[in-house]
């Protein structure tokens, strides 16, 4: 594996870093406090091609590799994870799912505006009783011949109120269990589709997380993704790539907190010298740096495997598990290094600490990642 980034990858990383500093950082604290969706910033990201990074140019995408996507996610997440999660969902789940498994008609109608960034999408799997247990779908899609009748509730949906297109997982044949699940494309203005109140969250507060209700929503037959019963496989395959994006988001949160802690340690003085000269702080910084470097390599490995069309499910789970746990550890230490200032909003690290927690929860909790990894290594042997 070549550890040297290409010139194109470096340019993309630098462009994302510049965008984060000039467009995301101003107002990020206010957006967090007011739970304000970064609409202007998301629009600009779409114009720059960051919302369809890995999508084929034939469908208005940028046609970039997954390594570039990881680099962009890290840079955006250093500053504003509420914005980077929009990029993650639109790229890893919605655009990828449609391009990989959608029909040509679905790609023309739905993927093109999503990849161009003129619309954003949402991925609707979780339910009140079916979060980590994706097989227990209570949302029902009843086959009515030339359409499906959709009824049920989805929880914790990112882009819940700002999306134009929703990929909804629902049960059509309960007697078949997970083999009876389907995936559907639902448009926002569909009669019977309502959006619940915005969740008041601990972190990523600028992201619009909502519950969704479907009451006798008619979904045309042509809006089913794949063959009848393909929905569970669609969800699992799509989430594999999604874990790379969330791992990169966690990496970015950790990296952003570390950079702030390093800067503060060089500037803050105690007992007549910068606290960076105290061995206790040096040890903290050394451990933080080491853990971030390890997380970055795991993220890049998973991305590289995906780009090489090699199996990457295990690597994605490993990266997501380690990077999300690293994000929590690093952000807590960053607050500790800042002391009392770390508890104050204007220093950013308390927000990064709050944002870090969600990376251990969504796209499959840390416990789910351990299950995925354990099944893989037990299957392959020791």
| φ/ψ of residue 274, rounded to 5 | -60, 145
List the beta bridge partners of residue 141.
Answer: 150
Nearest CA-CA partner of 353 in 250, 262, 283, 208:
250
User: C-alpha 187: how far from its chain's center?
Assistant: 21
Long-range contacts of 265-271 (CB under 8 A, 24+ apart): 265/337, 268/339
The shares of helix, strand and coil residues in the chain, as percent rounded to the nearest 5, are: 60, 15, 25
CA distances to 36, 218, 274, 370, 379 from 364, in Å: 26, 29, 41, 10, 20
Nearest CA-CA partner of 88 in 99, 79, 96:
96
How many Cβ atoms are within 10 Å of 294's Cβ, its own excluded? 14
What would the two tokens of residue 264 be?
């503060």
CB 155 within 8 A of CB 211: yes
Structure-token match 């910033």, residue found: 41
Of the residues 33, 222, 363, 380, only one is catalytic, namely: 363
Active site residue 363: yes
Q: Where are the alpha helices (DSSP H) in the chain?
A: 7-19, 28-34, 39-47, 66-79, 81-88, 96-101, 104-106, 112-116, 231-267, 279-307, 313-338, 349-359, 366-380
Catalytically active residues, by annotation:
363
């Amino acid at each position: 594996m070549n550890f040297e980034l290409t010139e194109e990858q470096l340019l993309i990383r630098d462009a994302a870093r510049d965008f984060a500093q000039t467009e995301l950082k101003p107002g990020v604290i206010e957006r967090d406090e007011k739970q304000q969706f970064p609409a202007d910033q998301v629009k600009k990201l779409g114009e720059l091609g960051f919302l369809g990074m890995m999508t084929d140019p034939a469908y208005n995408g940028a046609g970039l590799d997954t390594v570039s996507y990881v680099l962009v996610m890290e840079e955006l997440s250093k500053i504003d994870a509420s914005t980077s999660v929009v990029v993650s969902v639109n790229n890893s789940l919605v655009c990828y799912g449609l391009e990989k498994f959608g029909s040509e008609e679905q790609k023309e109608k739905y993927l093109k505006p999503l990849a161009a960034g003129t619309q954003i999408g949402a991925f609707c799997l979780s339910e009140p009783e079916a979060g980590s247990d994706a097989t227990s779908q209570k949302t029902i899609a009843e086959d009515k011949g030339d359409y499906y009748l959709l009824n049920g509730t989805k929880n914790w949906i990112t882009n819940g109120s700002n999306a134009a297109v929703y990929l909804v997982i629902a049960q059509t044949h309960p007697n078949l269990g997970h083999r009876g699940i389907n995936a559907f494309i639902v448009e926002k203005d569909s009669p019977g589709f309502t959006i619940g109140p915005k969740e008041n969250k601990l972190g990523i507060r600028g992201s619009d997380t909502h519950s969704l209700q479907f009451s006798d929503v008619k979904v045309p037959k042509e809006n089913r993704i794949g063959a009848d019963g393909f929905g569970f496989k669609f969800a699992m395959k799509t989430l594999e790539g999604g874990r790379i994006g969330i791992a990169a988001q966690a990496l970015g949160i950790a990296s952003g907190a570390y950079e702030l802690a390093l800067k503060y340690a060089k500037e803050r003085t105690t007992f007549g010298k910068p606290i960076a000269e105290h061995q206790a702080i040096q040890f903290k910084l050394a451990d933080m740096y080491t853990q971030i470097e390890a997380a970055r390599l795991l993220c890049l490995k998973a991305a590289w495997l995906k780009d090489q069309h090699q199996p990457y499910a295990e690597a994605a789970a490993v990266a997501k598990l380690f990077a999300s746990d690293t994000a929590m550890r690093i952000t807590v230490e960053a607050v500790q290094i800042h002391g009392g200032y770390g508890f104050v909003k204007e220093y950013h690290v308390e927000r990064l600490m709050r944002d870090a927690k969600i990376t251990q929860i969504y796209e499959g909790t840390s416990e789910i990642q351990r299950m995925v990894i354990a099944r893989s290594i037990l299957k392959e042997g020791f």
